[in-house]
Amino acid sequence: MAITTNDLKNGMSLNLSEGLYQVVEFQHVKPGKGGAFVRTTLRNLRTGNSLDKTFRAGEKVEQAMIDKREMQYLYNDGTDYVFMDTRTFEQLNVAPESLGSASDYLLETENAVLQMYGDEIVGVDLPAAVELVVTETEPGVQGDRVSGARKPATVQTGKVIQVPLFVNIGDKLRIDTRSGDYITRA
């Protein structure tokens, strides 16, 4: 669907010659001399790279229709992640490369919203924080109470995060999915 650059909004997806992009930020500029233009910051939906691009005001661009489907993560079959559409119960095998870092936070039977462009997965919407159980970490040493000291801990999905010294095996932690940082014990 063709739209003009005057209709751009944050979060809108565009199908440009450079690839599939999402508008992060835009600004209409009307200089004192010359024609108006639109300065944008775009994020590549496939790679995550940013691109600064300037369009003439009123220039036509192609809007990409991204379909968001709620799916339940069932299991990992060794190579792919298997999801089930919660409306049609259709199963979908997804390569780990398509999920990116989202695979570090997926638990079996949990729901996630997959962003689809045609049959291609271009993103995953996760909750802001997830609760994961610590499966492996070193015990905190008695007397080692330096303020802000951290140690590595492996959670049930296999992701290694830095946690405070008082965290032990079996503790349930709240983890920020955007940064991958420890928030608190749950």
- CB 114: neighbour CB atoms within 10 A? 22
pTM: 0.74
3-state SS string over 51-81? EEEEEECCCEEEECCCEEEEEEEEEECCCCE
**What is the rounded CA–CA span in Å between residue 8 and residue 30?**
16
Q: Give the tokens for residue 143.
A: 């007397």
CB of 182 within 8 A of CB of 164?
Answer: yes
Which class for 142: exposed (0-12), middle (13-18), buried (19 or more C-beta within 10 A)? exposed
How distant, in Å, are the alpha carbons of 25, 42, 60, 173 from that of 51?
11, 5, 18, 35
Go through the domains of the chain in sequence order and give each one's CATH number: 2-62 (2.30.30.30), 67-125 (2.40.50.140), 129-185 (2.40.50.140)
Edge to edge, what strands does the sheet with 120-125 contain? 91-94, 81-85, 67-76, 111-117, 120-125
Tracing tokens 């999905």 back to the chain, one arrives at: 157
Q: Which pLDDT tens digit goes with each residue over 22-72?
A: 999 999 999 988 889 999 999 988 888 899 999 998 899 999 998 999 999
Cα 109–Cα 157–Cα 135 angle in degrees, nearest 5: 115
Supply the pLDDT for residue 33: 87
Q: Which pLDDT tens digit goes with each residue over 120-163?
A: 888 888 888 899 999 999 887 666 566 677 889 999 989 999 99
Between residues 143 and 2, the one the model is more confident about: 2
